[in-house]
Amino acid sequence: MQFFVWGAWLITIGTYCLNAKGWTFPQFGAIFSTLALASLFMPAITGIIADKWVNAEKLYGILHIIYGLILFYVPKVNDPDTLYYVIFGAMICYMPTISLANSISYTILKNSKYDIVKVFPPIRVWGTVGFIVAMWATNLTDSKANANQFIIAAIGAILLGIFSFTLPKCPPPKNIKENASLIEKLGLNAFKLFGEYKMALFFLFSMLLGGALQLTNMYGDAFITGFESNPTYADSFVVKYSTIILSISQISETLFILAIPFFLRRFGIKKVMIFSMIAWVLRFGLFAYSDPSFWGTIHIVLSCIVYGMAFDFFNISGSLFVETNTSSSIRSSAQGLFMMMTNGFGAWLGSKISGIVIDEYFIAADGSRDWHHIWLSFSIYALIVTVLFAIMFKHKHTRAEEEAINRISH
């Protein structure tokens, strides 16, 4: 349910804003950037609240209920400037629930004497399943181009919020460091890692790659659905069920997660990161040559398949790199900084800049969109990042990394 209430509209909001509403790419880019903007500060703030004052499961429930109520208002919004603030408000409530869901899960499993390393990953896979089910629900109810997608998410969020109050209690931990400074509580002490060349370079590339992470989520469904204006493809299966086709990306995620231990053991962290970047080049490049024809559909499906490698390999190998190359005293903060650079600053810049660039260079006088060169430009960007990373980022495995990879493999 955690990811169902996001997946119901995340992939199709571009179709809603760009195709149905006819808003501009910069306007939509600003709206989509609120996901990243909320990620910059809300997880840290809610983490402090849950660590100090409020049971995590109660805070989780309250945030989901408010999130659902805000989404109920979306159908009443008819201009992009207002929707920006509405979606921003929704994201302020939703984004911190991702980390809260993990925290609640860990607490319940620990209290029930389960081995988290073994038990949690199979549970987390159901989050991806929930995302896929939401995409299918939105598509099969013909909601991808209207506001019903937000209603589906809103109903799910409120039900989830109510359900969360029945979960086992997860009170604030009693061993919180009372004299911790605000800097420490917000995890800002990890910023001293920017003083180390290698870590600074890694975080820089994390931000650059983060700019690509959400681009296909932003534009993928709008791109495929846009072929309905072409009489040749108007009634094709791919156009009608575009969101279901795109859900292959999430299915691919679950499969590539299982392959990560082999790749890490065989090739090492740096090469796995490079594989991820090459996969992003292919993800965008295949879209550039896609359409609802037979071979064009093959390109779409292949693009969805490589998405699993593109998304998972960098996030997991990057997290492992941070885990094994930082001091234990700032390790959690460093992981937060890694997420902030990718899903925060990187995703925000990618959302904002892509909308401006598309509007400036890839929209014809008659309003038509040059999707071929849009996707090609994204692919070239990913290729440049890949080449620079391969040349500039020098890394040899530490003993800690070898031990961590062996633990993952077993």
The structural domains of the chain, ordered by start, are 1-174 (1.20.1250.20), 190-410 (1.20.1250.20)
Q: What is the DSSP letter of 225?
A: H
Give the distance, in angstroms, between the CA of residue 172 and the centroid of all CA atoms in the same chain.
28
Q: How far apart are CA 74 and CA 370, in angstroms?
A: 29
Mean of pLDDT values over 59-70: 97
Mind listing the pLDDT tens digit for each residue in 364-406? 988 899 999 999 999 999 999 999 999 998 877 666 656 666 6
If residue 184 lies in a helix (H) or strand (E), which one and from where to where? helix 182-185
Mean of pLDDT values over 78-106: 92
pTM of the model: 0.86
Q: Which region holds residue 146: left if phi is over 0, alpha if psi is between -120 and 50, else beta?
A: beta
Inter-CA distances, 227 with 19, 118, 214, 233, Å: 11, 44, 21, 6
Q: Taking a C-beta distance cutoff of 8 angstroms, is the pair 207, 318 a contact?
A: no
Mind listing the pLDDT tens digit for each residue in 183-194? 665 556 667 888
Torsion from C-alpha of 125, 129, 134, 137, nearest 10 degrees: -170
When the pLDDT of each residue in the chain is averaged and rounded to a whole number, the result is 89
Neighbour count for residue 183 (Cβ, 10 Å): 12
DSSP 3-state assignment of 369? Answer: strand
Q: Taking a C-beta distance cutoff of 8 angstroms, is the pair 176, 28 a contact?
A: no
**Roughly what angle, to the nearest 10 degrees, separates helices 197-213 and 331-339?**
40
Q: What is the pLDDT of residue 178?
A: 55
Q: How far apart are CA 220 and CA 40, in angstroms?
A: 25
Q: What phi, psi does 58 have (nearest 5°)?
A: -70, -45
Mind listing the pLDDT tens digit for each residue in 9-19? 999 999 999 99
Q: What is the pLDDT of residue 120?
A: 80
Residue 338 predicted with pLDDT over 80: yes
Mean of pLDDT values over 287-293: 96
